[in-house]
Amino acid sequence: VLGSEVLTLWREIIDKRLEQLLPKEDGGMPQLKSLYQAMRYACLNPGKRLRPTLCLLCAEAVGGEALAAIEVACAVEMIHCFSLIHDDLPALDNDDLRRGLPSVHKKFGEAVAVLSGDALIGLAFEVLSRAKGKPERVLECLRRLTEAIGVDGLVGGETLDILSEGEVPNREVVQFIHSRKTGALFAASCAAGAAIGGGSAGDVQSLHQYGDELGLAFQITDDLLNQSSSENQLGKSAGSDLAREKMTYPAAFGEDVARDMAMEAVQRAQQYALHVPKMQSELASLALFAVERLS
């Protein structure tokens, strides 16, 4: 089964739940309509839903029900979409296009963009707190996701990404950036799915490693696509890493080595997937999808 087919299968289920959890456009205060709209716009767009799909599959991979992880998966996607809103802001990457559409600040203005992101992260943890499952499992998800976004995760990686613009490419630094800004949330999405699915400590750890390697492969591929693809194909800006002198894998290692490193990370991810009881071929396909995707 192809990774893209696995994603198509789950996206409908994920989007249906997201759509229920997000504020309705006309549901609350009329004056806040643009806030609700911005939150929905950021989450219910043609993204890949890779992180929430991994979260659901990992619950199933350890012998649980995929749908037992739906709240956790939706929380993960809200965190991810929030991070993209902020990543695109003029103060950060200053990108006007995301998933083939104007970025949130282009469409709703900077103030509403910042605030809709803030609202999404709050909602993510509210949704997570209501996840079905043993309280200690829900708490483990909370710990893993908050760790993944903090100074040793997304925020730290993104800060270094921004502060390293224009610096001489350094292999250690770019490895640090990628493992934090991207690897951490992939790893936590997988581990949290496994945790809520009732996995053993060993299975949760294997899937954390799987997500970490998949995330590395994904972000190296992102760097390669930014360099070699087009805005039309990507649905977001192309060539921007070079223009902003970003510290990327191709900049630090060269394009060919970076491509090999991504493939090696996929193979390591697939090895980790062999440790879990179920869904090994789906997990292997999604790891491959991370490098074979064209957008």
Residues that bind ligand FPP (CB under 6 A): 79, 82-83, 86-87, 93, 95, 149, 154-155, 158, 181-182, 222, 226, 236
The residue among 205 and 229 lying less far from ligand FPP, judged by its C-beta, is 229
- Choose the one of ligand FPP, Mg ion, none that binds residue 48, judging by a C-beta under 5 to 8 angstroms depending on kind: none
CB 208 within 8 A of CB 186: no
The residue among 72 and 276 lying less far from ligand FPP, judged by its C-beta, is 72
The residue among 93 and 213 lying less far from Mg ion, judged by its C-beta, is 93
Distance of CA 180 to the CA centre of its chain: 11
DSSP assignment of 24-82: PTTTS-GGGHHHHHHHHHHHSSS---HHHHHHHHHHHHTTS-GGGGHHHHHHHHHHHHH
The residue among 17 and 236 lying less far from ligand FPP, judged by its C-beta, is 236
Q: Does 222 bind Mg ion (CB under 5 A)?
A: no
CB 92 within 8 A of CB 86: yes
Q: Which stretch binds Mg ion (CB under 5 A): 71-79, 83-91, 119-127, 215-223?
A: 83-91
Q: Does 158 bind Mg ion (CB under 5 A)?
A: no
According to DSSP, the residues that pair with 101 across neighbouring strands are 98
| Other Cβ atoms closer than 10 A to 162 | 16
Residue 101 host element (H or E)? strand 101-102
The residue among 188 and 273 lying less far from ligand FPP, judged by its C-beta, is 188
Nearest to 50 by CA among 218, 236, 197, 294: 218
- We find the least distance from the C-beta atom of residue 150 to ligand FPP, in angstroms, to be 7
- We find the least distance from the C-beta atom of residue 236 to Mg ion, in angstroms, to be 8
Q: Which residues bind Mg ion (CB under 5 A)?
A: 87, 93
